[in-house]
Structure formats: C-alpha cells, structure tokens
Amino acid sequence: MSFKSPSPKVDTTQETLLFLKRLLKHPLRLGAIAPSSPALTSLVSRHVSVKPGSYIVELGAGTGTVTRRLLEHGIPSDQLYVVELDPELCGFLERSLPDIHVIQGNAVELASLLPREVVGKVSTIVSGMPVSTMPLNLQKKIIDSCFKVMTPDGEIVQYSYHVTSPIPALKLGLSKERIGITLLNLPPAFLWRYQRAA
C-alpha cells in the first residue's frame, strides 16, 4: 500500500545551526554553505516522480530540505529511502521525518544498505552529495553502487554548483543532460540527469 504524508514542519533556525555545525566538522563532506533553498528543492522535486512498485533513493539528505519537498510534491513516504553518512544529521532526519526510511551509511554501499526488496527497483536516485570534489575512483564506486540498485533505465538526478557536469560522464559510461538551473540558491545551482549510456 502506498501512502502520501504531508511534509512535517521543521524549525529552520535549528536546521541551519545543525548544518553549520556539521559543516565546521566535515567541510568537504558537506560541500555546501547552507541547506538547499526552496527554489532548488522545488526544481529538484519537479524532475522526480515514481511509479507504483518503484522507489526513490536520496543520497546525502543532510537536514532533509529536498526530502521534505519530495514528500510535498507527492512522492509517497513508503517509496522513499534516504541515505546519509553523518550520524548526527541522520538523527535529525529520523526525528523530523518519522515516516520515511532513513539509513545511516555510505553511498558506495547501496546494495547492502537498502532492503533486498528495493534492490533493482530504484527508478531515480537524487543526489546532493558533493561529487565534483571527489576523486574519480570514489565517483566510480558511487556510480557503480547506484547502478547495482537501479532499474535498467534508472536515472541519477544530481544538483551541483558547477556550470560543467560534476560527474565525468564519458569516463564513467554515462549519458548526461543539464535539466535545470536556479540562481536563487547560495551558491546558484545546476541540475543534471545521468543515465547509463546506450
């Protein structure tokens, strides 16, 4: 059974303070100076939909700004899994979004992190991870990890602050498309879609 849940309200001051605290502790891992803006979360959610029997996975959910917008946009909570490396951010996600599946772990291990019934049925992976600053071998591990759990035509929707593709698509056997841009984010952000190259 699928059910939609209204997006819970969060204390945005508390959210921003937590983000800044984790940014000071792990600047490279966070890779942004603030949670994504409403303009960016809206842009992302407009490019994500899910069919019955499929799943959405969000990588690097942070404080859940994109997660909440996906729920508001109609993604059923039981079809949404979020994976976040930072235990403190996971605690915040679990408290503020009690209806969704929060998994604390590394995006390179998706096949073992996700429940068996979800593996192979993920139609879209939304990522806010700072992939552009990761070394190529780590980018490759993450992409391989994504393809282990996605449907054959699955797609990765990645937002980034670089004008150029944050993932070297050709080297990793991907097709790429820039599908959106918003200036109303700090910094301005670009949205990319990647699929396995034909």
Ligand X SMILES: C[S@@+](CC[C@H](N)C(=O)[O-])C[C@H]1O[C@@H](n2cnc3c(N)ncnc32)[C@H](O)[C@@H]1O
Q: Which of 30, 75, 113, 172 binds ligand X (CB under 6 A)?
A: 30
Q: Which is nearer to ligand X, 64 or 154 (CB)?
A: 64
Q: Which is nearer to ligand X, 59 or 146 (CB)?
A: 59
Least distance CB 44 / ligand X (angstroms): 8
Least distance CB 157 / ligand X (angstroms): 12
Under rule CB under 6 A, residue 65 binds ligand X: yes
- What DSSP string describes the chain? -----PPPP--HHHHHHHHHHHHHH-HHHH-SSSSPPHHHHHHHHHT----TT-EEEEE--TTSHHHHHHHHTT--GGGEEEEES-HHHHHHHHHH-TTSEEEES-GGGHHHHS-TTTTT-EEEEEE-S-GGGS-HHHHHHHHHHHHHHEEEEEEEEEEES-SS-SS-TTTTTEEEEEEEEESSSSS-EEEEEEEE--
Q: Which is nearer to ligand X, 2 or 114 (CB)?
A: 114
Q: Which is nearer to ligand X, 39 or 85 (CB)?
A: 85
Return the residues of window 144-183 that contact ligand X according to CB under 6 A. none
Q: Which of 15, 18, 35, 182 binds ligand X (CB under 6 A)?
A: 35
Return the residues of window 96-115 that contact ligand X according to CB under 6 A. 106-107
Under rule CB under 6 A, residue 60 binds ligand X: yes
Least distance CB 187 / ligand X (angstroms): 11
